[in-house]
């Protein structure tokens, strides 16, 4: 579908690819549209919902400035997916032992590996950059206990919230591994630190903002280059974290499944990140807060929720969306509201046929807490084409 709604009362237009936007999200979009450095317009994906300061599902092009809170604290959060060379009928009838084996290999929630598990090449590639960040800003030490040990032992770990690992089947009954995770504790520390630093740097000018969470760094300012360096490192860390998890998951699957290979369909994409791109005759920073890049021919991953479909897509390079699309279904109710409405009985009903936990700890992640993924896909038919439809048969939640 084309753009469904355009907000014009701000300094720049806000172009929205859905007609389903709540009032809190609309206010946040209006606040963003008043900032003086937004280029051209703001694009809003069909999974839009309110975030902290900036709206989840927004694509924000900026000239000479970056808003740390628009990226958020899970810097570089994103998806990875790969197709295995085996079919559904080669999976065991009961997947419980497989799920437990993955949960044993991949720490979830606040947990980390008890010893260094990341491959040496991964640690070596990241360590110099982190050392430089901590030397420049030693206060980052205080935001994470044992930062040098923790960042290494959290590589290859899932985290909590809406992060997950899944085994899925596509329309041809081929088996896929799909996962969702980000930059863990060190990314959160970097995001929190620089968001607070941006507020401090703005000083009395902070009061001119419609929301203090929209504090920003401008090009040439004291900490602008440091933030650019820090966010680049955190995005690299998040990508490395997902690669290491895929490596560990493959080790588990090789012990449990018939011999398999990995096809050429291996897909990686960030959906909370900043990148330098060219749009509407200007080189800008594009902040995708809950959105993925969908340039022409580019592959992407759009997950649904526990018990619903997910999609492997190919981008159409739509310029009005800054070559972007949604990063998932998007929440339709808060976590607290979901916990009030759903219980273990709903977990059983809404995850029927999926091997997963079905306890009270995952009710805020049930399909009922999310928008209809098929409706979301319908609204972004101008942005992507569907290549594969996936349905999970196993899900590990953070």
Rounded Cα distance between 392 and 97, Å, is: 16
β pairing state of 14-16 and 42-49: parallel
In a 3-state reduction of DSSP, which class is residue 233? helix
307 annotated as belonging to a binding site for a ligand: no
**Is there a binding annotation on residue 162?**
yes
Residue 306 marked ligand-binding: yes
Residue 10 annotated as part of some ligand binding site: no
CA-nearest of 71, 40, 77 to 198 is 71
271 known member of a binding site:
yes
Ligand-binding annotation for 330, yes or no, is yes
Is 260 annotated among the ligand-binding residues? no
Q: Which of 108, 386, 126 is nearest to 248 (CA)?
A: 108
Q: What is the DSSP letter of 117?
A: -
Residue 305 among known ligand-binding residues: yes
**Of 327, 346, 379, 388, which one is the catalytic site residue?**
327
165 marked as part of a ligand binding site: yes
304 is in an annotated binding site: yes
Nearest to 177 by CA among 238, 248, 93: 248
Are 45 and 28 within 8 A, CB to CB?
Answer: no
Q: Is 328 labelled a binding residue?
A: yes
DSSP notation for 167-207: EEE-TT-EEEEEEEE--HHHHHHHHHHHHHHHHHHHGGGGG
> What residues contact residue 82 under an 8 Å CB cut-off, 6+ apart?
176, 177, 246, 262, 263, 265, 266, 267
Half-sphere exposure of 271 (CA within 13 A, CB side): 29
Q: Is 110 assigned a ligand-binding role in the annotation?
A: no
The answer to whether residues 178 and 310 touch, using CB atoms and an 8 Å cutoff, is yes
DSSP assignments along 368-397, one per residue? GGB--HHHHHHHTTTTEEEEEEEEEEEEEE
Q: Can 205 be counted among the known catalytic residues? A: no
290 close to 43: Cβ distance less than 8 angstroms: no
Q: Which long-range contacts (CB under 8 A, 24 or more apart) does 148-151 make?
A: 150/112, 150/185, 150/186, 151/126, 151/184, 151/185, 151/186, 151/237
Give the whole-angstrom CA distance, residue 298 versus residue 294.
Answer: 6
| Binding site listing | 74, 162-166, 180, 271-272, 303-306, 310, 327-330, 397
Active site residues: 327
Q: Which residues contribute to the annotated binding site for Mn(2+)?
A: 74, 163, 180, 271
Provide the annotated binding site for GMP: 162-166, 271-272, 303-306, 310, 327-330, 397
């Amino acid at each position: 579908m084309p753009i469904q709604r355009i907000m014009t009362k701000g300094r720049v237009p806000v172009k929205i690819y859905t007609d389903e936007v709540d009032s809190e999200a609309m206010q946040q979009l209006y606040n963003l549209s008043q900032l003086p450095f937004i280029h051209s317009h703001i694009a809003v994906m069909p999974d839009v919902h309110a975030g902290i300061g900036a709206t989840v599902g927004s694509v924000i092009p900026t000239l000479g400035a970056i808003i740390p809170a628009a990226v958020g604290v899970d810097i570089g959060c994103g998806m990875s997916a790969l197709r295995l060379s085996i079919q559904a009928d080669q999976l065991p009838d009961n997947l419980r032992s497989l799920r437990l084996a993955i949960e044993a290999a991949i720490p979830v929630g606040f947990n980390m590996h008890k010893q260094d598990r990341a491959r040496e090449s991964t640690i070596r590639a990241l360590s110099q950059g982190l050392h430089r960040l901590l030397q420049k800003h030693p206060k980052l030490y205080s935001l994470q206990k044992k930062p040098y040990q923790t960042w290494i032992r959290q590589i290859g770990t899932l985290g909590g919230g809406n992060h997950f690992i899944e085994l899925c089947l596509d329309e041809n009954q081929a088996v896929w591994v799909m996962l969702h995770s980000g930059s863990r504790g060190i990314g959160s520390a970097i995001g929190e630190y620089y968001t607070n630093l941006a507020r401090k740097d703005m000083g009395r000018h902070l009061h001119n903002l419609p929301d203090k969470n929209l504090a920003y760094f401008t090009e040439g300012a004291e900490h602008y280059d440091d933030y650019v360096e820090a966010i680049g490192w955190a995005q690299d860390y998040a990508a490395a974290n997902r690669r290491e998890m895929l490596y560990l998951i493959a080790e588990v699957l090789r012990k449990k499944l018939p011999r398999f290979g990995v096809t050429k369909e291996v897909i990686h994409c960030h959906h909370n990140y900043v990148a330098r791109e060219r749009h509407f005759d200007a080189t800008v920073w594009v902040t995708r807060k809950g959105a993925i890049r969908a340039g022409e021919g580019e592959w992407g991953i759009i997950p649904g929720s526990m018990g619903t479909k997910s999609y492997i897509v190919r981008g159409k390079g739509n310029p009005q969306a800054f070559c972007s699309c949604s990063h998932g279904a998007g929440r339709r109710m808060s976590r607290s509201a979901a916990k009030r409405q759903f219980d273990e009985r709903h977990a059983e009903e809404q995850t029927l046929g999926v091997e997963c936990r079905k306890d009270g700890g995952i009710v805020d992640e049930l399909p009922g807490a999310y928008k209809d993924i098929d409706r979301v896909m319908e609204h972004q038919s101008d942005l992507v084409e569907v290549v594969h439809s996936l349905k999970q048969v196993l899900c590990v939640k953070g």
